[in-house]
Amino acid sequence: MSRPPLADVRILALEQYGAGPWGTLQLADLGAEIIKIEDPLVGGDVGRYVPPYQEGESSLFFESFNRNKRSLSLDLRHIEARSVLEDLARRCDAVFSNLRGDQPTKLRLRYADLQHVNPAIVCCSLSGFGMDGPRATEGAYDWTVQGLAGWQSVTGEPGQAPTKSGLSLADYCGGYVAAIALLAAIWRARRDGRGGDVDLSLFEVALAQLTYMGTWVASRGYEPIRRPHSAHQTIVPFQNFETSDGWVVVACPKQSLWERFCVAIGRSDLAEDERYATFDLRNQSREKLLPELEAELASRTTSEWLEVLGAAGIPAAPVNDVANALADVQAAARNAVVETEHPILGSVRQVATPLRLEGYEASYTRGPFRGEHTQEILREICGYDDRVLESLERAGAFGPSPSTRQLAS
């Protein structure tokens, strides 16, 4: 197996919860060294305490975002801790944080604060709203961003309450964007010899995910509405259909797919009907067309329709629950679920990285205990000896020690 693609990348991460840890997880799975700096006075990353599967400072939630990382306990309120941070930054490619927008300036985590120790350092902030503007000092979470960015207004059934996505997609999109931005900024710094600030916000990432809908609204004043059964705004059919025993998703975003679909369900007459001849006409006539399709799809089971539609080359899928999704034959064939052992949580099975590069196979280690690697990192990267480490510990730079049980091997 070849050397990991990002084996020569080292990032300091002042991160917690979802968006930030998700972004650095993508890089860790590709071999980057992620040094997770945790605040000892608040017990480290709040993700350690998310129920239901949580014991002490360990949780399955935390494991989902923090495998393949190392943890260093550091109380940045201490003046001694500042010198530790700068010694680490001197030997890292980037300092990444997902704090409130005003915090990188207050904590002196911007390029102007760290360029004197490393002119090539990249200082990346992923916050709710960015480091300037009227909302810069506001906190934000996925739930609130999905509301503010308009996502909830187009999610759910017509006439029902606004609905967020079942997953924290604003956070995860933000994490992916952060990973891309970090790689681009590190590449530029290595090429040009100078780093700089990277200022990202969950709000702007969420706005960007509006894509064509945002373009329609901004350009033509389009008014998006919620469609029944998770239907596409304008393409018909492209939605969930109820079968005799469940639900099936059908997608016909091409004219050829629409024509084959009609034949497959025994309604070739619909493909020949001039009222439904084009994308636009089908959208205009959806109130007449969809009841016809719904009646046909309700006549057989989900598995029967999947066999029929699959044979016709129509994109279709069952509406699985999570357990069935993880057990799908494709997931099994691609080894999409991996397992690690944890001293407290026992066997931890989670979804593998989707990033697959020829010649590299990701390996997986459990998430770190809080501060588990503090001395190891500072000896290895900064060259600190016992005297320096003991002095820092006495001064309180590392904060109170975690429970010895958490550090069990």
Domains of the chain: total:
2
The one-letter code for the residue type at 128 is G
223 lies in a domain? no
Pick from 291, 299, 195: which is nearest to 245 by CA? 299
**Tens digit of pLDDT for each residue in 64-102?**
999 999 999 999 989 999 999 999 999 999 999 999 999
Kindly report the pTM of this predicted structure.
0.94
CA gap 120, 90 in Å, rounded: 9
Residue at a domain's end among 295, 319, 343: 319
pLDDT at 407: 47
Question: Is it the case that residue 387 has pLDDT exceeding 50?
Answer: yes
363 lies in a domain? yes
Claim to verify: residue 27 and residue 146 sit in the same structural domain: yes
Instruction: Give the residue-averaged pLDDT of 132-160.
Output: 96
DSSP 241-283: EE-SSSEEEEE--SHHHHHHHHHHTT-HHHHH-GGGSSHHHHH
138 lies in a domain? yes
Claim to verify: residue 97 and residue 143 sit in the same structural domain: yes
pLDDT at 400: 82
Residue at a domain's end among 266, 293, 319: 319
Pick from 237, 229, 230, 233: which is nearest to 309 by CA? 237
Domain that holds residue 245: 228-319
Q: How many CB atoms lie within 10 A of CB 148?
A: 18
Claim to verify: residue 155 and residue 273 sit in the same structural domain: no
HSE-CB for 222 with a 13 A CA cutoff? 15
Which class for 322: exposed (0-12), middle (13-18), buried (19 or more C-beta within 10 A)?
A: exposed
Question: 3-state class of 340 per DSSP?
Answer: strand
CA gap 128, 117 in Å, rounded: 28
80 lies in a domain? yes
115 lies in a domain? yes
387 lies in a domain? yes
Pick from 363, 330, 255: which is nearest to 1 by CA? 363
Claim to verify: residue 310 and residue 199 sit in the same structural domain: no
265 lies in a domain? yes
Pick from 52, 44, 51: which is nearest to 16 by CA? 44
Claim to verify: residue 184 and residue 53 sit in the same structural domain: yes
Claim to verify: residue 82 and residue 203 sit in the same structural domain: yes
Cis peptide before 224 (omega within 30 of 0): no
198 lies in a domain? yes
CATH of residue 84's domain is: 3.40.50.10540
CATH of residue 255's domain is: 3.30.1540.10
Residue at a domain's end among 284, 319, 354: 319
Question: Is it the case that residue 110 has pLDDT exceeding 70?
Answer: yes
Claim to verify: residue 106 and residue 253 sit in the same structural domain: no
**Tens digit of pLDDT for each residue in 282-307?**
999 999 999 999 999 999 999 999 99
Claim to verify: residue 283 and residue 259 sit in the same structural domain: yes
Helix (H) or strand (E) holding 198: strand 196-201
Claim to verify: residue 314 and residue 392 sit in the same structural domain: no
Claim to verify: residue 204 and residue 87 sit in the same structural domain: yes
Which class for 202: exposed (0-12), middle (13-18), buried (19 or more C-beta within 10 A)?
A: buried
Claim to verify: residue 361 and residue 293 sit in the same structural domain: no
HSE-CB for 65 with a 13 A CA cutoff? 25
Question: 3-state class of 167 per DSSP?
Answer: coil
Claim to verify: residue 111 and residue 62 sit in the same structural domain: yes
What band does 197 get if pLDDT is binned at 50, 70 and 90? very high
**Tens digit of pLDDT for each residue in 199-225?**
999 999 999 999 999 999 999 999 999
Question: 3-state class of 375 per DSSP?
Answer: helix
